[in-house]
Structure 1
Amino acid sequence: MTAVLVGQFHARDAEGRIYPVHEFQEATLEADGSAASLPITTYKLAIGDKVNHLGDNRFELARSGVEIIRIP
């Protein structure tokens, strides 16, 4: 399935660097081919690097392991 951009925000690491993060949602299919009720949400930096959601406003850069916090 195709991921659709549904949001954008900035996050900051402990050293003060700012990261632009894009939020995507992807519909999933059930075994019978029907759409699942909840889409999968994924996060990536604007340059394409994967970002893991740790909960609340906490995220982690998958490649480097740097923790970033969403800026309100």
Structure 2
Amino acid sequence: MAAVLVGQFHARDAEGRVYSVHEFQESDPAQGDLAGSAPTTTYKLAIGDRVEKLEGDEFKLIQSGTILVRESQTTLAS
């Protein structure tokens, strides 16, 4: 399975701390072009902690359960 960085953005917790979140698309080359094998989007902090997407602009840090809200501006990877 290969992961490609497709973007990054900042998110804030309830106390105003800012987190840098990286957005990856993962695909499994072993699956080939089979129907239903669309890339999966995953999220991680810049320091490596896993992030789960909730609804809309809300995310949750897996390790601590901290809820983050995505800021409006996104930077796309080039």
Q: When the two structures are superposed, what TM-score results if normalisation uses the length of structure 1?
A: 0.89
1:50–1:61 CA contact under 8 A, matched in 2: yes
Shift of 1:55: 1.7
Offset, 1:38? 1.4
Structure 1: which 4+ aligned runs deviate by more than 6 Å? none
Seq. identity, %: 59
Q: Output the CA distance in 1 between the equivalents of 2:53 and 2:19.
A: 14
What stretches of structure 2 of length at least 5 have no aligned partner? Answer: 73-78
Structure 2 match to 1:26: 26
Q: Count the aligned residue pairs.
A: 70
Q: Could you tell me which runs of 5 or more consecutive residues in structure 1 were left unpaired when the two chains were aligned.
A: none
**Cα RMSD between the aligned structures?**
1.5
Structure with more contact order per residue of length (Cα contacts < 8 Å, sep ≥ 6): 2
Question: Which residue in the other structure is 2:6 paired with?
Answer: 6
Task: Using structure 2 for the length normalisation, give the TM-score.
Answer: 0.82
Residue 35 (str. 1) matches residue 33 (str. 2): yes
- Deviation for aligned residue 1:28: 2.9
